[in-house]
Amino acid sequence: MIAIHDFYKRVGESATEAFLAIDTKDLQGILIGGPSPTKEEFMEGGFLHHELQHKVLGAVDVSYTDESGLYELVDAAQDQLFELELTQDKVVMRRFMKELVSEKGLAAYGESEVRHNLELGAVEVLLLSEDLRKTRTKIECTNRSCDFSEEQTRTSASSLPGNCLKCGSALAVTEEEDIVSNLSQLADKSSATVKIISTEFEEGAQLFKAFGGIAAILRYKTGHI
């Protein structure tokens, strides 16, 4: 029993040293894996630092003690990881909803408004629905003597471009990019956080249905909301 206690203590000290070095905002959760009853004894024995106790998502049975056990742990903990992600989505969506009705109004929605705020560097958190299925396309005139071009956001069901508004020649799509990737790249330029929001809860479904799947929490007001 003494040997087992010492083993738990060493594991707890190593875990504490590793996890306390991580910013609490970045440490989203801790999974504990192992055979029964060792993982339960470790959790209940207070071997993990008290500041880390509330970060434990749960304990999962694993049969390997090497690197394979880590993969087994992650695979077996999919339900806990999904619940963690869903909880985080709920928190950020509730913050967006709160900003939407507050006097400060640090919220924006709809592609046009959010894109403009991204270009100004005013976005703190970019919210994109997981069900968003659109592409950002560049359309140019096929007449080489005409300089007409524009960018459009299209759904997969959108019809192909028609004729040039300047010369009447046919238009062609010359560039195409998924809208999530396109907006995420804009967010990266100003170090904005990008959150892909699940539709498995009320506010997440509302983001897609009521706000077009694109919204943002702002650093400051720009007048484009």
pTM for this predicted structure: 0.69
Question: What value does the mean pLDDT of the chain take?
Answer: 88
pLDDT value, residue 1: 64
Tens of pLDDT along 179-211? 999 999 999 999 999 999 999 899 999 999 999
Tens of pLDDT along 85-132? 888 899 999 999 999 998 888 999 999 999 999 999 999 999 999 999
Between residues 94 and 37, which one has the greater pLDDT? 94
pLDDT value, residue 64: 75
Between residues 221 and 58, which one has the greater pLDDT? 221
Give the SS3 label for residue 17: helix
Q: What is the mean pLDDT of residues 49-63?
A: 83
pLDDT value, residue 158: 66
- Pull the structure tokens for residue 200: 């498995």
Q: What is the mean pLDDT of residues 54-70?
A: 80
- Pull the structure tokens for residue 220: 């400051």
- SS3 of 93-162: the string is HHHHHHHHHCCCCCEEECHHHHHHHHHCCCEEEEEEECCCCEEEEEEEECCCCCCCEEEEEEECCCCCCC
Residue 110, number of CB atoms within 10 A of its CB: 16
pLDDT value, residue 157: 57
Instruction: Report all structural domains of the chain as residue ranges with CATH numbers, in order of start.
Output: 2-76 (3.30.420.60), 93-132+180-218 (3.30.1330.30)
